[in-house]
Amino acid sequence: MKIWVDADACPAVIKDILYRVANRTQIMVTLVANQMLHVPPSPWIQAWQVCAGADVADQRIVDQVNAQDVVVTADIPLAALVVAKKAWVIDPRGDLIDEHSIAARLTMRNFMQDLRDNGVQTGGPSAFNERDSRAFANQLDRLITRIQRQAAQ
């Protein structure tokens, strides 16, 4: 199992949680971004910088991810591609996205995009807060335990 991070829009507090998880569990965490990232020195943490461009980082993650890997992203189209490869997706607010929830997520994303394209002010997500980071940490711990148990069977 590896953890892949769509790092361009990932909150710093989530990256910090991932760094601690990588060192504690010895699971490789790879952050993929269009910009240069500074990560703490660790054999379990790496950062990949990809060329600028729409969805370049997303495509790199999709190309590298394997079944039972975990991808951290709020990008629903990326999540759909990852779920299709039998990998797990968790968003920075701690929501697990899987084969049971991805269709509804894509539908809602497309609906909201259509509204915005037609000039409707939809607002954005609420501000990221401490409760979100706790939810993420708890969900990630549960997910890692689940994946490890499945691998042991």
pLDDT at 35: 92
**Domain 3-152 falls in which CATH fold?**
Rossmann fold (3.40.50)
pLDDT at 79: 95
pLDDT at 6: 97
**C-alpha to C-alpha distance for 51 and 48, rounded to whole angstroms:** 10
Q: Pseudo-torsion of CA 111, 77, 73, 65, nearest 10°?
A: 160
**Cα separation values, 126 from 110, 120, 129, Å:** 19, 18, 9
Q: Where are the domains of the chain?
A: 3-152
The pTM assigned to this predicted structure is 0.88
- Mean pLDDT, consecutive 10-residue stretches, the chain (153 aa), reads 95 98 98 95 97 90 96 95 96 93 78 78 81 97 94 86
